[in-house]
A and B are shown apart, each in its own frame.
Chain A
Amino acid sequence: MWHVDATHNTFITTGNAGPESTTAEVSLFYNGGKNKYRLERKLSPGQQLWLDVGQVIHDQLADSDGQTLPSDTMSGSYELRDLDHQTVGQLYEGKLIIDKTYGHASYGCGTCCGYSVPTLLPDPFAGPPGIDNTDVMQSTEQCGGELVDLADDAYNWQSTNTSVATLPTKVLHTVANGSATGSGEVYVQADKPAPRCPMAYYTPQQPVTVCDFTVGPSTVYAQNCTGQSQNNNNFSATITPSSCLPDSVKSKCGASWVSGNIDLVGSPTCVFNLGPPSATVTYFAGPKLPNGSAGTFDVTFDLYFDSLKADIARYVTATSECP
């Protein structure tokens, strides 16, 4: 991996350790591995090549094909090849990354530093509709063993069900309840088979579940609208998809008057058992309004989903029809 920005620079070096001249090729990959900057040099025995990547970018130095590295490029992978000795190369390699902030320098040499098969995180993802989540394409860089995020180098982002969630970039957007699978593609040096580290395409996948629910019914029937005796109506939450299980310990329900001649008797009874979350609302209704109902009230469920580590609140405005 090479890294160049305001506080980092990278030097890539190679030298010919063989008894005869050879052609060294240094390739800098960028833009998710889709583009490369290629430098070819003939090296005599004992001769070295130093590539100051920061200078290449800053001074817009053309490569062997006349291409330059875009000035906003900051990181990528690289490859070193002995073009004249394909199977047993004569080249030795070194890399120096300088961190100007603290004066640190890290070295890499002699081995390739490929990436393990990445995972797209969170894996799995679960969330409510209408949120954005920045995914991480996590891989382990085999030289340092550190976890790296390859998401900025990935491309071909997609979702198998865009009515549930979209993944046009590394930002996952949830749309509506259901299930989908998100994926992105990245082209980097693999960590196997060591020590060759051939370039490889990885397409990690991410199961996505978007949980939501509705509250019903929206029309209930009062037993009487005389205003003299209590009415009871039951409401419940319909949760989809099936993998979304609410945690009753952290869930709530409530009811509130909206319009008309409805007098709620306190707060509802919230019922949590092996059935769906439900609520019984007790109220006095009446007298009857011209439209035949006694009025309306809201019933709200605030359900907590462990898989989301969050709650979702939904309500229904119920009309109480008089007999």
Chain B
Amino acid sequence: MRFCVVMLYTLCVLPSAALQQGLFSVPIVDKSGAGAPLEVSGTLTLRESLRANELEWSWGEKVTVKNSSEKAILLFGATISEVGRYSTPEGRRAALGSGPTYRLEDDRFFSETLIEPGESLVLRDTKPGVPNVGCCVNPLSETQAPSAEYRLYFVQFADGSVFGDPAEAKDSLAIRQIILRGLKVLLQSYEDGGELVFASKLNDLRSYMIAPSRAPKTNDQPPFFETAICRQILAKYDATGAGGALDKVREILKIAERHSAMIAAAPSS
């Protein structure tokens, strides 16, 4: 009772003052299920402050995964979700205080380095920053402990075997095909018209990247010019010219072909 009186006093007299400020350390819980080949570890941080019934909150994450399998990993997809302390306010459909859901997909299909057995990599490394602000929560209502969940939904090993449902990683698998097509178009432009035509294609891609509305309509989502691999090739082109970019295209395609062959050799399961 005494607690309530103090709180109400603060609410009425100092409505702008922070009633509560909190920093919560939130352990991450692995919801991947049995046999998941990437073990998670880490802690999330929730910073909250409550001014009257207005909530400010921000999340930070330190999350690492480790390949606990005996095979190299080519692609994985995982989500990290962050659930805050407050229940859904009346008349609203979502609770305040929760963080984003991160959908993280790491595809090494075009990269020389795979995720080797025993290897660890940092998945998230952020601190609480500029807070979200939302209204309204009942400061007197019961709160729950904040929670964080990690779920590994798909892994493709270098030998072609998989963990999880490939349908869940369909976006990354589609981007892989978009990149492959884009690289082949670039290489073909060189074979058809030499370095001048190849450079012209690269200049087109750059102009599309700056002004996507100029790009020809395509069903590819995202289009090739928006992918990280295309950015790498354009950066190489800017740094070393068409010759360097052509070498880069060939090098990436060679790696992709090698990985394709490894996947194709996998026994169908």
Beyond A242-B206, A242-B209, whether A250 also contacts B130 by CB under 8 A is no
Which residue of A248, A256, A279, A302 has the most chain B CB atoms within 10 A of its CB atom?
A: A248
Contact B222–A275 (Cβ < 8 Å): yes
A291 at the interface (CB under 8 A from B): no
A259 at the interface (CB under 8 A from B): no
* A238 proximity list for chain B (CB < 8 A): 209, 212, 226
Beyond A254-B132, A302-B129, whether A242 also contacts B235 by CB under 8 A is yes
* B100 proximity list for chain A (CB < 8 A): 252-254, 267-270, 279
- CB contacts under 8 Å to A, within B200-219, are 206, 209-210, 212
* Contact-size category for B: 35 or more
B105 at the interface (CB under 8 A from A): yes
Contact B126–A252 (Cβ < 8 Å): yes
Contact B105–A272 (Cβ < 8 Å): yes
B145 at the interface (CB under 8 A from A): no
Q: Whole-angstrom distance between the alpha carbons of A239 and B222 in the complex? A: 14
B168 at the interface (CB under 8 A from A): no
Beyond A236-B226, A240-B209, whether A272 also contacts B179 by CB under 8 A is no
Quote the shortest CB–CB distance from B40 to chain A (angstroms): 14
* B206 proximity list for chain A (CB < 8 A): 242
* B125 proximity list for chain A (CB < 8 A): 249-250
* B133 proximity list for chain A (CB < 8 A): 256
**B234 to chain A: closest residue by CB:** A242
Map CB proximity to B onto A231-268 as digits: 1 under 8 Å, 0 otherwise: 00000101111110100111111101000000111111
Q: Write 11 A-B pairs (CB below 8 A) sorted by A numbering.
A: A238-B209, A240-B209, A242-B231, A245-B228, A245-B231, A254-B132, A263-B94, A271-B103, A274-B107, A274-B176, A275-B222
Spell out B's residues near A (CB within 8 Å).
82, 92-95, 98-107, 110, 122-126, 129-130, 132-134, 171-172, 175-176, 179, 206, 209-210, 212, 222, 226-232, 234-235, 238-239
Further 17 A-B residue pairs, CB within 8 A, beyond A264-B94, A270-B103, A276-B222: A238-B226, A242-B206, A242-B230, A242-B231, A242-B235, A245-B232, A248-B104, A249-B123, A254-B132, A266-B94, A267-B82, A267-B98, A268-B101, A269-B102, A269-B103, A274-B176, A275-B228
Spell out A's residues near B (CB within 8 Å).
179, 236, 238-243, 245, 248-254, 256, 263-276, 278-279, 284, 302, 313
The list of the 3 closest CB pairs from A to B, nearest first, reads A242-B234, A273-B105, A243-B235
